[in-house]
Every structure is written in C-alpha cells, then in structure tokens.
Structure 1
C-alpha cells in the first residue's frame, strides 16, 4: 500500500506533520484558550487521515492524542508548587493606583519585602498602602523618567537590603496619553509614551540589574497586546510598548547566562489609572481640538474626532474592574519554579494572539477593528468625496438615459 504514494504525497505529509506539530507546540506553550486548541485538533485529525494509508489505526491515534491532551490539561490545572515568598525582596514601579497598588498589597500579604515607587508620597494611593500594608513595605517617591530619582531609589534600596540581592523587579509604571489617528495625535503624546513606557523602564532596569544578577532574580514587565498588534488609534502607546517588548525579548537572551529570568505580562482591558476618568479624557479631547491645524480638522471633521473620543470612553467604561488576573500573573511569574516567557492576563488575549499568529493579515486586522474601534463615521473629506462620486454617477446615468431617448 505504501507503493501507491508518490514523492509529492510524502512531501505533503512531511510538511503537514511539521506544521501541525509546530502549531500544537506553540499553543501548549502559550496558555491559549480552548478555542484555538480545537483548531489544532482538527489539523491533527487531517494528519491522522493521511496516515491511514500506512495502516495506522486512525481511531487509536486519536484516542492516544486525546489521552495526551487530557493528561496535559490535568497537569496544568493542578496548582503549581510555588517558591516561598519569605525573605524575597521585590522592587515595583507605578504603585499609586491600578496594577501596581493591587500587586503591592498582595505581595506584602504573602511576606515579600516590597519596595514600591509612587509619584506622590502624600497621595491617596500612597496613604492607602501605608495604612493597609505591613512594616516590610518601603515607599519611594520616584518619577522613572528622572534619572537622579531612579538612582536615589537604587541607593535607598541597597542601603536597606545590605548584602542581600533583589529577587524581583516589576516594571509596572506606564502611561497611555493619546487617542486618535496617528495623523491627529500630538508629537508630545508619542514622546510622552516613549519617555515613560520605554526609556523610564529601561533606566530602572539598567540601574537595578546588578542587584538582580547577584541574586539570579527575575524581571517582570507589564506590557500590552498593543505592542504586538496594530490597534487602531493607539499608535503612540502601541509603539512604546512594541519597543518595550523587543527590549524584554533581547534581555531574555542576554541575561540567561547570568541566571536572571525575564518575562512579560500582557493584560486585556482593565480599569486602571486614568482609563475610567471621564473628566481626564474630556480635557485631553479639548487639548487635541485646540492644537490641530484648522485645515487638518476640516479634512477629518470635528464629528469624526468626537466619535473617536466617545468610543474610547465607552471602551473604558466596559473595562474589567477586577485586577486579580494581572496580579495573579505577576505573582506566578515571581514564584514559579520555571518562568514562562509571557503571561496572558485576562479573557480573550490568548485567542487574539492565536488569530494574529496563524490567520491571514486581513482577518486579523478586521478582528482588531471589530473588537476595539467600531467606527461608523469616515473622515469628512472622504465623505464629501464619496458624495461627489455618487452625485457624478447619478448625473452620468441621467445623461445616458437622455441619450438613449434621443436615439
């Protein structure tokens, strides 16, 4: 029966085997949701069908694959044995609110020695942490874009740690200061995002690396899917996170010989910082309208800009207020015996990355547009152009009809 197979068939089977195996390996290593796993299962079924010609009992192969998948699922669902938190020191940035503040509370309750940076030591967030956390918490006023403040935070941390190294650095501080098309976004927004999300994080990481190398510790950075995928109207934020993601991947390779492990946490949409502050986005919207050149505003239309602001406002109001998935991912990254390269925190992130990695670009792009920015208005200039074309077509049709009548 094997003689019936020609060389092209052998090549087909080999390529299909490599593809299906690669897909399944990537899925199992990426903490994806069950939906993409079904796609991989269908691919495996096609492979089994091709192997039927070699007298391999397809049913037995499917059963074997099912048993393997079940064992893997059981293994992953079992609670992992985490490393002890006692005696470990962690430095975390951006703790006035959001992920940072929630993570500090969790780490402090677990027995970590936590060094947390805030922008305002007298602010509500800092006061809440001082009131609710133990004496093991050290609050430091740090703007991560200020090199002098970052260096002073390093000196303060070293003075308290003594000869003990730093187990974990959690790069959490970040900003998203823009909304709108790239052409409408201010250059100051691009620079502001890069200054905090990339350069600030890089500065903190470089300063604290000696302490991390001493303890063979870990670097955990909070990034965003917008750094890997082209979310509409988030170019400034996404570009800064893309730079951060590449930095993380590079550090992972460079620090491996030192025993320092590096990972990134990719959250879905959550209510943090200013995302749910309606007054903040209204002020940003007014600043944008005032700063745009009149000719550019005329081409896009104020109603187009207003719709974008309303869509952001609506998207923010629907964001998840429960930050625990992100906090859980950070804790696992700090204490798991084997650190994963990335952690998906929140529903739908795994599926999003699967579509981005394996589906055609047109499908992935449409998925992002439907998921994030469901715009109904086109820019004003395009609407006028469309109306002019429709009017011209109607006139041409009328002229043609008149010519036919005359004939």
Structure 2
C-alpha cells in the first residue's frame, strides 16, 4: 500500500514532521498551561494520522494518543524533580533594592544559600528590609554596576568572606528601562543609559566574578526580557540593550561549557517592579520626553500622541502581576537544577508568545504583538493632516466626476 504514496507526499510529510516535532519540543519545554500543551498533542495526532493512515485507523491513533498523554502527565505531576542542595552555596545577586532581586535574596537566604546582595543604597528601604528579614548570612554590598571601582570592591569583599570557596551562582538582575516612546522621539542619552546598565554593567559584573564561578563550576542566571527578542513598540532603547545582553549570554553559554559553568536566561512576563506602579514616575518620564523633542518633531507627532503613549504604558504597568514568585521560583530552579535549561519562560502566556513569534507567519505574530502590548489609537499629527487632506481631495475629485456626468 506504500506504493500509493509518491515522492511529493513523503517530502510534505517530512516537512510536517520537522515542524510539529519542533513545535512540540518548544511548547513542552516552556512550562505552558494545559491548553497550548493539548494543542501540541493534537498537532502530533495529525502527524501520526498522516504517517500511518494506511495501517492504523484514526480511532486507534486517538486511543494511543490519550494513553501517551496520561503517561506524560503522570510522570510530570509525580514526584518533584531532584534538586541540588542549597546549603553551603554562595550566590551574588545584583539589583536587590526592590523587585525580583529583593524577592530572590529573601528566598535564597531562606533556602540556606550564602547570599551577597548588591544595592544602590545601603540606607534605602530595600536594604533595610533585607537586613530586618534575612539571616546574618546575607551580606549587603553597595554597588552601582556601571561603576567599575564599586564592582571591583564588591569582588574583593566577596573573596574575603568566601575564602577558598568559589561562587556557586551569579544572578544578573540589575537593569533599567529609562524611557518609553518611539525610537525617533527618544534621546540618544536614553539609548546609552539602557546600554550602560543592562549590557555594559552586566558584562562588567560577569567578567569580574567569572574566576570565582569557574572555580566552583557554578551558574550564571541572567534576567532578560522578551523585548530583547521581539520588537515591542516604543521600547527600542530598552529592547536593543536586552538584545545585546541576550547575545552575550548565549555566547557565554558556549564559551563556559568546558569550564562546567552553566548559563541560563530568564524571560519574565509583565510584573510590577521598580517604579512601574508609581504615577509620579510616569509623569516625570512624560515631561522629559516632551522636553527632549525639538519643536519640529513635536509638531509632526503632536503632544496628544505622546500623552497617549504614556497613558498606555501606565495602564499596562498597572495591570501587571504583583506576584513575583513565578520569576523567583524559576531563578531557584536555574540555580539548583542538575541540568538547567538555557532559557526559562517565567509567567503566564510568555511561552505561548514565543511560540507564536517563532512559528507563525509574520503577519500573525506582528498583529499578536501589537494587540498584546501598546494599542495605539492616536496617529501622529502629520499623518492625521495628510489623511484629512487625502480625504478632502478624494471628495473633491468625486464631486468633479459627478458634475462631468451630469453635463
């Protein structure tokens, strides 16, 4: 019966096999919810039906699929995966004044790690909270990662406390998003500011602490952003810095493999961190953006266009998840898993977003991204004038044509 299937059929089947297997691998590795995972299994059903339709009825295939699903979910939801012991392991975390860094420092301290937490301000609220709630094993270090002298001092202080013991983990968490708005409207200082902290600062810390990490055959866990992989509107400065960081992290993964140092990237969904819920912060950003625009550029775009952008970002931030535990759980997993993953998707929907971006046609992924993030309704002022001019011109031409017909 196989003679009934010609060469094009097998080529088509081969392409379908590669696509569905790749999609399933990505979905199942992304810790998604049940629905997208079920979609992946249904896709596998289509593949199996294509491959063996000439010898197995579809009902039998469905029964086999259900059995495979039961086995998979039984093993997945059974005993928790084995993890390495936390006791005696030292970890340095950057950016612990608030957000992911602050929450991670508390969790790792509670698990028994020896935590070195860097903060911008030793007298700030975040630092005082860590001193109050954590054990005496936690060490606070005042570090601005853009200042090489402070990074080197932190390295000396860490070495002094560790002695001959190496550093098991480095959590590169410190980062900044200093602007919002179209790339054309953003100041060059905003682009440089993002690069200075998110890329060069992280690079400086990583290079400085690598000897300690190599000595312990430890882990590097870097908190990045989907904006570094996907073109989120109005986040060009932040996204470009995270894209550079992602490439650096992927390169380090290959280079450090012979040393036994495992490198992971964590890609969180939207969470309430830092200044994201501070109304005064968004007003200040809005004011700075308007002041940085030339009169000609402000005329082209219009103040209402910039104001809408600010309101959309503020609304998006207000709807973000305040529960940071999915990201903290993922950091712990990356530090203690015997075989850590290269990338972790932390938060609901983030894996599905990457799947759509990676496997769907550009028109679909682009529309999905636009509807997911900033849904602009106000057009730049110049385009509104142009649209109005074109509409009036079209009406004028229609009237002239109608007059010609009447004559």
- What band does the TM-score fall into relative to the shorter chain? over 0.9
Residues 33 and 351, structure 1, Cα contact 8 Å, conserved in 2: no
In structure 2, the partner of 1:46 is: 46
Query: Bigger shift: 4-13 or 280-289?
Result: 4-13
Secondary structure of 1:54 counterpart: coil
Structure-1 separation of matches of 2:204 and 2:333: 25
In structure 2, the partner of 1:9 is: 9
Structure-1 separation of matches of 2:145 and 2:131: 21
What is the CA-CA distance between 1:132 and the residue it aligns to? 1.0
Deviations 1:100-156 (A, max 9, x none): 111111111111100000000011111111111111010000000001110110010
Structure-1 separation of matches of 2:53 and 2:106: 60
Structure-2 separation of matches of 1:46 and 1:110: 45
What is the CA-CA distance between 1:293 and the residue it aligns to? 0.5
Q: Does 1:224 align with 2:222?
A: no
Secondary structure of 1:174 counterpart: coil
The equivalences for 1:152-163 within 5 A come to 152-163=153-164
What is the CA-CA distance between 1:173 and the residue it aligns to? 0.2
The equivalences for 1:92-241 within 5 A come to 92-241=93-242
In structure 1, the partner of 2:87 is: 86
What is the CA-CA distance between 1:45 and the residue it aligns to? 2.4
In structure 2, the partner of 1:324 is: 325
Deviations 1:62-82 (A, max 9, x none): 333333333222333332222
Structure-2 separation of matches of 1:388 and 1:371: 32
Structure-2 separation of matches of 1:32 and 1:289: 40
Structure-1 separation of matches of 2:53 and 2:331: 48
Structure-1 separation of matches of 2:66 and 2:148: 54
What is the CA-CA distance between 1:2 and the residue it aligns to? 1.7
Residues 89 and 168, structure 1, Cα contact 8 Å, conserved in 2: yes
In structure 2, the partner of 1:27 is: 27
Deviations 1:318-337 (A, max 9, x none): 11111111111111111111
Structure-1 separation of matches of 2:129 and 2:324: 17
Q: Does 1:266 align with 2:267?
A: yes
In structure 1, the partner of 2:74 is: 74
Structure-1 separation of matches of 2:288 and 2:7: 66
Secondary structure of 2:263 counterpart: strand
Residues 168 and 217, structure 2, Cα contact 8 Å, conserved in 1: yes
Structure-2 separation of matches of 1:96 and 1:353: 30
Secondary structure of 1:221 counterpart: strand
Gaps of 5+ in 2: none
In structure 2, the partner of 1:365 is: 366
Deviations 1:207-257 (A, max 9, x none): 001101111100000011111111100111111111111111111111111
Query: Bigger shift: 75-84 or 341-350?
Result: 75-84
In structure 2, the partner of 1:353 is: 354
The equivalences for 1:280-299 within 5 A come to 280-299=281-300
Q: Does 1:377 align with 2:378?
A: yes
Residues 27 and 351, structure 2, Cα contact 8 Å, conserved in 1: no
Structure-1 separation of matches of 2:100 and 2:272: 9
What is the CA-CA distance between 1:44 and the residue it aligns to? 2.0
Secondary structure of 1:169 counterpart: strand
Structure-1 separation of matches of 2:165 and 2:69: 43
Query: Bigger shift: 36-45 or 377-386?
Result: 36-45
Deviations 1:27-75 (A, max 9, x none): 2223233333343333322223323443134433333333333322233
Deviations 1:232-290 (A, max 9, x none): 00111111111111111111111111100000111111111111111011112111111
Residues 167 and 216, structure 1, Cα contact 8 Å, conserved in 2: yes
Structure-2 separation of matches of 1:82 and 1:258: 21
In structure 2, the partner of 1:309 is: 310
In structure 2, the partner of 1:64 is: 64
Structure-1 separation of matches of 2:189 and 2:112: 41
Secondary structure of 1:369 counterpart: helix
Structure-1 separation of matches of 2:77 and 2:196: 40
Residues 36 and 354, structure 1, Cα contact 8 Å, conserved in 2: no
Structure-1 separation of matches of 2:57 and 2:370: 44
How does the TM-score come out when normalised to structure 2? Answer: 0.97
Query: Bigger shift: 235-244 or 22-31?
Result: 22-31
Gaps of 5+ in 1: none
How does the TM-score come out when normalised to structure 1? Answer: 0.97
